[in-house]
Amino acid sequence: MPAVNPYTGDTPVSIGGRRLTLAFDWLAISAVRTDLGADGQAAALAGDLYKLASLIAIGLRRHHPDWTGDMVVAASPPVVPTIKAVEAALAAAWFGPDGMPKEPAKENPPEPLRTRCARLWQRLTGRG
């Protein structure tokens, strides 16, 4: 799910039949650390539903300040699509419009020196 605003992480999410907007700006990101602790975000995205509800409430503060974690729990949105929306919003907030950096393609490691020498010796002498 792409972010609507790739710089602030504004991302749509459906909760309780309403289309809401998650936004993880700098205030929200710092609130995640303060309110949920150092491992709170990881726990929320791993399936701790109360922490996920709190994380969602933090993301909703900018556009929907009336929503609380208890309201999210009461609305009981589907877990997987909700986590995907939160992940998209967080990725946009952290990495901007380019998204998460891709891992560079791994190149073949250089051959060890003795292998090159062994091949040279084999070419020169005709034996291995």
Element spanning 40, H or E: helix 40-45
- Per-residue pLDDT, 103: 78
Of 92 and 53, the structure prediction assigns the larger pLDDT to 53
Adjacent-strand bridge partners of 20: 13
In a 10 Å sphere around its CB, with 0-12 CB exposed, 13-18 middle and 19+ buried, how is residue 128 labelled? exposed
Q: CA-CA distance, 119 to 14, in Å (whole number)?
A: 63
3-class SS of residue 18 = strand
Count Cβ atoms below 10 Å from residue 127 Cβ, excluding itself.
Answer: 6
Lowest-confidence region among 32-46, 63-77, 91-105: 91-105
